[in-house]
Amino acid sequence: MEAFASLADGLVVAIQPANLLFALIGVLLGTAVGVLPGIGPALTVALLLPITFKLDPAGSIIMFAGIYYGGMYGGSTTAILINTPGESASMATALEGNLMAKAGRGGPALATAAIGSFVAGTIATLGLTLLAPYLVDIAVSFGPEDYFALMVVAFVTVSATFGDSPVRGLTSLFIGLMLGLVGIDLLSGQSRLSFGVPELYDNIEVTTLAVGLFAVGEALYVASRRHIQEEKLEAVRGSLWMTKEDWKRSWKPWLRGTMFGFPIGALPAGGAEIPTFLSYATERRLTKYPEDFGKGAIEGVAGPEAANNASAAGTLVPLLTLGLPTSATAAMMLAGFQQYGLNPGPLLFAEQPNLVWGLIASLFIANAMLLVLNLPLVGLWVRLLMIPQPWLYAGILVFATMGTIAANPSPVELIMLTVFGVLGFLMRRFDFPIAPVVVGLILGPIAESQLRRALSISLGDPMTLLQSPISATLLAIALIALILPFFLKGLGRFKAVED
C-alpha cells in the first residue's frame, strides 16, 4: 500500500523532536482557545501567522493542525461543564453533556467526549490517508441543489428531536430562521432586518447567539430561582470514570458520529455543525434508553463529539487535495501554506510529499497527545462544579462576555449577547427548547442561499432538485425520515397489542 509507506515516511518527519514540540504547543494553545467562547482556532492561527513566518514550514503547519484539533477538544469541555459551547460545533454536546454534569456524571461525559474525539479523529485521519483522492471527486460534484437536499434531511431529522412538544420546538426553530435572515443577503447584496445598524450587516454571530441563549440565559434562570430552591450540584456521583455500561453505550455513537462527521466535513460547504446535529438526532432515535434523553444521555455526548472531530479531519481533504478551504480555520491554514510559497492543490502531494504526509502523521500524534492531556484532567475539571453556584455563574457571565468582546469588540455585540440572554431565560421559563433557535440560525441561511443558487443556475426550473441523483436520493431519505416514525409508532402499538 503506497499510502502506508508514505505515511511511515511522514511519521519520521512528525516524530522529530522539534515537530513534536510544535504539535504539543499547538494542542495546548488550541485547547486553551477552544475553551474561551468566541475565540476559535481560526483567530488563533490568524494571529500566529506573522510570528511563524520565519519558522520551518513543516513545524508551523503541524502546529496549526494541533491548534485545530485542540480547539475542537477544548470547546466541548466548557459545553459539558458550564453549558457554554466554546464553538458552534460543540453546541450539540452541551445539550446532554451539561445535563450529565449536573447529575454528577461530568466525569464520564468528559471521558466519552475525549475518547470519542480520539477514536473519531483517528478513524477520520485514516480516512484522509486512504480516501482523500476519491472522496474529493464526490465532494466537488456536490452542487447547490444537493446541499439544499442535505439541509432538508438535517431539518427533518433534527426537528423530530425538538423536545416534547412539536409546536414549541417549531416556534423555537422559526425564531432561529428569522434571526438567520438578519444582515446582508449574500445573493442580492441587499440588507434585511438590520434596521440600518451596520453591525447587523454581517449576520448574527452563531457563537454570540449560542453563548447568550445557553450560558447567559441559564445564569439568569438559576438566579431567578434561587429564592425558591437552591439546586444542589454534586460534582461526582458514582464513578468519575466511564463504567462498563458507559463504554457499551458509547462505542456505537462514536462510530456513527464519525460516519457523519468525516464525509460531511469533506464537503466544500459541509461544516462541522450539521454532522453534530445529525448525530445527536440519530442517537436520540436509535437509543435503547430514550427516557435518559433530556436527563443526560451519554449517547448524546459521544456521537456529536465524535462527529465534531471527524469533520475537522474531513475539512483537510479538500484543503490538501484541491486547495479548497472549507472552514475559517482551513482558510487560515491555506494562508499558512501560502506564506511559504506552497500552494495546496492537486500538485501539493506530488511536490511536497514530506510536508503533506508529515502533517497527516502529526494529526495522529496530536490526537494521541490530546487524549493523554485531557483524560488526567477530567478529575480536575469536574471540581469546577464544586464552586458555589453564585460564584460559578458570575464566573460564567464574565467568561461569556469576555469571549464575545474578544471575538468582536463592539458594544452592539454585547447588547445582542444580553438580549439573547434574556430570550434564553424567557424560553427556559416558559419551556421552549433553545437548541432549535441555533439550528435555525445555522441551517436557515445555508438552505436559503443554496436553493436560490440552484434555481439561479437552472434558470428557475425547480425540477433541478430531482434531476440530480444525489439530491433526489437525499430528498427520498428526508421523506422516509419524515414518514418512518409514524409507521414505527403504528408498528409499536401493534407489537404492544401482540404482547
Partner 1 sequence: MTQFRKGLWRGALAAAAVAGFVTSAAAQMELKIMAPAAPGGGWDQTARSMQQALTQAGIAKSAQVTNVPGAGGSIGIAQLVNNSKGDGNQLMVMGYVMVGALLTNKSPITLDQTTPIARLTTEYEAIVVPADSPIKNAKDLAAAIKADPAKVTWAGGSAGGVDHIAAALFAKAAGADPTKINYIPFSGGGEALAAILGGKVTAGISGYGEFESQVKAGKLRLIGLTSAKKTANVDVPSIKEQGIDLEIANWRAVVAPPGISADQKKALTDTMDKMAKSKEWQEILKAKGWEDAYISGDAFTKILADEQARTKEVLTAVGLVKS
Q: Which residues bind partner 1 (CB under 8 A)?
A: 42-43, 45-47, 49-50, 53, 139-144, 184-191, 198-199, 201-202, 268-269, 318, 322-326, 328, 330-332, 335, 338-341, 343-348, 408-410, 453, 456-457, 459
238 Cβ neighbours under 8 A, 6+ residues apart = 104, 105
Question: Residue 407 Cβ, how far from partner 1 at the closest point, in Å?
Answer: 9
Buried b (16+ CB within 10 A) or exposed e, 376-404: eebeebbebbeeebeebbeebbebbbebb
Q: Give the nearest distance from C-beta 402 to partner 1 in angstroms.
A: 17
CB of 250 to partner 1, least distance (A): 34
Q: How far is the CB of 35 from partner 1 (least distance, A)?
A: 19
Give kind and range of the element (H or E) at residue 405: helix 389-407
Nearest CB to partner 1, comparing residues 376 and 409 = 409
Please state the closest distance from residue 326 (CB atom) to partner 1, in A.
5
Rg (CA), the chain: 22
SS3 219: helix
By beta-carbon proximity to partner 1, the closer residue of 111 and 139 is 139
Write down the least CB distance from residue 417 to partner 1, Å: 16
User: What backbone phi and psi angles, to 5 degrees, belong to 269?
Assistant: -120, 30
Which of residues 96 and 146 has its CB atom nearest to partner 1 in the complex? Answer: 146
Task: Determine the Cα–Cα distance for residues 156 and 370; give it in Å rounded to an integer.
Answer: 35
Q: At 192, is the secondary structure helix, strand, or coil?
A: strand
Distance CA 356, CA 62 (A): 10
Nearer to partner 1, 75 or 344 (CB): 344
The three three-digit cell numbers of residue 173, written as one number: 426553530
| Contact indicator for 94, 85 with CB cutoff of 8 Å | yes
**Least distance from C-beta 172 to partner 1, angstroms?**
26
The smaller minimum CB distance to partner 1, of residues 17 and 189, is found at: 189
Residue 475 CB, nearest distance to partner 1 (Å)? Answer: 18
337 vs 393 by CB, closer to partner 1: 337
In whole angstroms, what is the distance from residue 450 CA to residue 357 CA? 34
Question: Which DSSP string corresponds to 424-460?
Answer: HHHHHHTT--SHHHHHHHHHHHHHHHHHHHHHHHTTT
In whole angstroms, the minimum distance from the beta carbon of 391 to partner 1 comes to 33
* Three-class SS state of 183: strand
Q: 252 or 453, CB closer to partner 1? A: 453
Within 13 Å and on the Cβ side, how many CA atoms surround 273? 24
Distance between CA atoms of residues 179 and 437, nearest Å: 8
C-beta closer to partner 1: residue 338 or 473: 338
Nearer to partner 1, 220 or 324 (CB): 324
Query: Residue 30 or 268: which CB sits closer to partner 1?
Result: 268
**In angstroms, how far is CA 249 from the centroid of its own chain?**
21
**Which is nearer to partner 1, 282 or 352 (by Cβ)?**
352
C-beta of 187 vs 479, nearer to partner 1: 187
Containing 493, the helix (H) or strand (E) segment is helix 469-498
What's the min distance (Å) between Cβ of 438 and partner 1?
19
Residue 341, judged by CB atoms within 10 A of its CB (0-12, 13-18, 19+), counts as exposed
User: Among all chains, which residue has been given the C-alpha cell 450587516?
Assistant: 201
Other Cβ atoms less than 10 A from the Cβ of 368: the count is 15
Q: Give the Cα-Cα-Cα angle 178, 37, 168 (nearest 5 degrees).
A: 35
Q: With contact defined as beta carbons under 8 Å apart, do 99 and 296 qualify?
A: yes
In the complex, what is the shortest distance from the CB of residue 423 to partner 1, in angstroms, rounded to a whole number? Answer: 23
The DSSP code sequence of 211-225 is HIIIIIHHHHHHHHH
The alpha carbon of residue 321 and the mean position of all alpha carbons in its chain are separated, in whole angstroms, by: 23
For residue 332, the minimal CB distance to partner 1 (Å) is: 5
Query: Chain-centre distance of CA 467, in angstroms?
Result: 31
CB of 209 to partner 1, least distance (A): 17
In the bound state with partner 1, the residue whose beta carbon lies nearer, of 10 and 268, is: 268
Containing 314, the helix (H) or strand (E) segment is: helix 299-322
CA distance 333 to 273: 20
